[in-house]
Structure 1
Amino acid sequence: MAPAPVLLPPGPDTWLGVARDILLEGRTSATTTTTSLTSPAHSGHFLGRRDLTVTDTQKVTLGVIAAYVVGIALLWNLPYVRWSLWPFKMLVIAFHEFGHAITCLLTGGKVKSISLDPREGGVTLMQGGKSAFTLPAGYLGSSLIGALLTFCGFNIVASKVASIVVGVSFLLTLWWGRRDWLTILTILLAVGLLVACWFIAHAEALRYVVLFIGVMSSLYSVWDICDDLILRKVNSSDASVFAKRYGGSSQCWGVIWSIISLLFMVAGIIAGIAAFPQSSAQQQTDSGKFIPTKFF
């Protein structure tokens, strides 16, 4: 059977012109695609190199993280000046206790109460739940939250979102914590600091506050375990209770949890480098489009 004839619509000149344009456009696109695939900046290893490349803005962020680690370690242990960390210490203690509480609920238990005190620590009264999960969830939960905040601290818009969560957490901490005038004042000042940072350079200053809280929360378990189990030999920690129930020594479990906490922090830093390669100027531009604020 002979093939069916192909019927062309009226106006062949018009269609030929359209076909020519399409071919020319396709050739241009193909040339552009070939160039992008063969150029060094767009080779097959583009994603791998981007993940390992640290921009100038990220170098500054990494330097700030290192300064925070040293500064917080000193302030945490020096007398008379450690009070300056009270509002942030209250918050990371809250993260610790929230880790216990949430894990208790997820494993079928019931949370009776949560109490917080920057001088004495926090206590979560629970009924039921799986203690094999609830006991380490305090340190590991605060470390995970810290890693997420550190991750957000690499970008202004992400820090804006994180600051809203942190602000609400501060107020919840005040609700559950001991309400003496110094605690109330320091927490309100911390919330005021978050709000004020929204109006500085399109919230660029906010990024460093979120980063500070993230670093402090990430390392809280390391410093607290070292303080309780190595320096003061206190036996009433989560690690000591875990050791009594499941074997091993409290120091051993403390070291394991500390290593996991550090790994969380490193993962947050690596993820921040990979996800937020934007320059400081680009971040300010993006921030100006997300809940914009006037700035100084």
Structure 2
Amino acid sequence: MAPVISPALRSVAHHTGPVLRSAVAAAAPLVLRRAAALLSDVAEHGHEQHTARDAHQLSSRGLSVTDTQKVTLGVIAAYVVAIALLWNIPYVRNVLWPFKMLVIAFHEFGHAIMAVCTGGRVISIELDPREGGVTHMQGGRAAFTLPAGYLGSSLIGALLTFCGFDIVASKIASFVLAACFLLTMWWGKRDWLTILTIVLAIGLLVACWFIKHAEPLRFVVLFIGVMSSLYSVWDICDDLILRKVNSSDASVFAKRYGGSSQCWGVLWSFISLIFMVIGIVAGIAAFPESFSEQEKDSQNFIPTM
């Protein structure tokens, strides 16, 4: 039976599709210029690869960290500490609600997408920042759908972290995030606090577009990326180590396929950390531009202020 697509999903896709296509089309020349510059650099230095020392120099140049990237890495480290604290402090952690809702949505999207890819269909998705989320589905292969939640959210987080190294990439990512926020509001528990916080989060994305050529936007995208990348680590630690909850994806996986829930949880967390590291390294390699250079590029891509 063909998978059922929510009317909300069709509506969001209908309205955001043209915007996304326009954004990608506008960004294409910039991406092509960067790719051409990279290929030119490789061609120019290709003859150096016949010696180990020259190959090492080329590798060092490609992975060198600029001052702008050092700031970004420092911000990532600060985010890790801040989110870890906010995640566990009563009342104060409510500040994270809209972002936690979004990350939970990424988790459930992972389950849903993998269910469809393995022959199943999605019946419904429910989201609640207090209780977590649940995806109701029929069919699919549990061996793939169960870990897809944590690994899917961490993969999305790695992509957002990658985009967070550059303003133009963050602009493109913000369109996707806005659409996901709207889907999250549709599937989430619709109390006044959830709706208010999600509306404020979307407002934050929009406001960042009009500040210093959207430079703050990349730090918002980076924040969501870091939180999504480490969601599996914090959630598994919270459920399996601190609270010993028996209804997690890891515990269900352990009952069906053997092993312990703690073992599977730690393994998935380790993979999530690998995804995050790959996203950071890719960001360093792809976006060496300074803040001023990024602002100049941003002025040529849906310019604001």
TM-score (norm: length of structure 2): 0.82
- Change beyond 3 A, Cα 1:285–1:231: same
Aligned to 1:169: 180
Separation in 2 of the partners of 1:104 and 1:34? 47
Per the alignment, in what secondary structure is the counterpart of residue 212 of structure 2? Answer: coil
1:255 aligns with 2:266: yes
The alignment status of 1:100 with 2:107, answered yes or no, reads no
RMSD (Å), alpha carbons? 1.7
CA distance in 2, matches of 1:214, 1:79: 23
Residues 204, 34 of structure 1: alpha-carbon distance in 2 compared, 3 angstrom cutoff: closer
Aligned residue in 1 for 2:27 = none
Structure 1: 5+ residue stretches without partners: 1-32
Shift of 1:35: 11
Partner of 1:201: 212
> In structure 2, what is the Cα distance between the partners aligned to 1:87 and 1:188?
9
Q: State whether structure 2 residue 206 is matched by structure 1 residue 192.
A: no
1:80 positional shift: 1.2
Amino acid at match of 2:154: S
> How many correspondences in the alignment?
258
| Secondary structure class of the residue paired with 1:112 | strand
| Partner of residue 179 from structure 1, selected from 170, 190, 198 | 190
Number of the residue aligned with 2:237: 226
Relative to structure 1, is the Cα distance of residues 104 and 36 closer, same or farther in structure 2, using a 3 angstrom cutoff? closer
Distance 1:50 1:126 in 2: 48
How far apart in 1 are the matches of 2:178 and 2:262? 34
Given residue 211 of structure 2, which amino acid in structure 1 is its aligned partner? I
1:136 and 2:147 aligned:
yes
| Alpha-carbon distance in 2 for matches of 1:227, 1:163 | 29
Which one has the largest radius of gyration?
1
Aligned to 1:210: 221
- 1:79-113 deviation line (CA, Å, top 9, x unaligned): 11000000000000000000000000000001110
Tell me the SS of whatever aligns to 1:54. Answer: coil
* Pairwise CA distance, 1:47: 4.2
Q: Distance in 2 between matches of 1:260 and 1:234?
A: 21
Paired position in structure 2 for 1:20: none
The 3 A distance-change label for structure 1 pair 46 and 238 is: same
Q: Which amino acid aligns with 2:164?
A: G
Q: Residue 15 of structure 2 corresponds to which residue in structure 1?
A: none
In 2, the alpha carbon distance for the partners of 1:147 and 1:85 equals 19
Give the aligned partner of residue 21 of structure 1.
Answer: none
Q: Counterpart in 1 of 2:90?
A: 79
From 276, 280, 290, give the equivalent of 1:269.
280
Structure 1 CA distance for aligned equivalents of residues 127 and 153 of structure 2 = 14
Return the alpha-carbon distance in structure 2 between the equivalents of residues 78 and 36 of structure 1.
53
Measured in 1, the distance between the counterparts of 2:296 and 2:182 equals 30
Match of 1:293 among 288, 301, 304: 304
Q: Distance in 2 between matches of 1:93 and 1:45?
A: 42
- Post-superposition Cα deviations, 1:124-168, rounded to whole Å, max 9, x if no partner, equal 011000100000000000000000000000000000000110011
Q: 1:115 to 1:37 in 2, by over 3 A?
A: same
- 2: CA distance between counterparts of 1:36 and 1:119? 55
Which of the residues 132, 139, 154 maps onto 1:121?
Answer: 132
Identify the structure with the greater helix proportion. 2
Give the whole-Å Cα distance in 2 for the aligned partners of 1:82 and 1:227.
14
Q: Percent identity?
A: 79
Q: CA separation in 1, counterparts of 2:154 and 2:191?
A: 27
CA contact (8 A) 1:140 1:261 kept: yes
Q: How does 1:11-90 map to 2 (within 5 A)?
A: 47-90=58-101
- What TM-score results when the alignment is normalised by the length of structure 1? 0.85
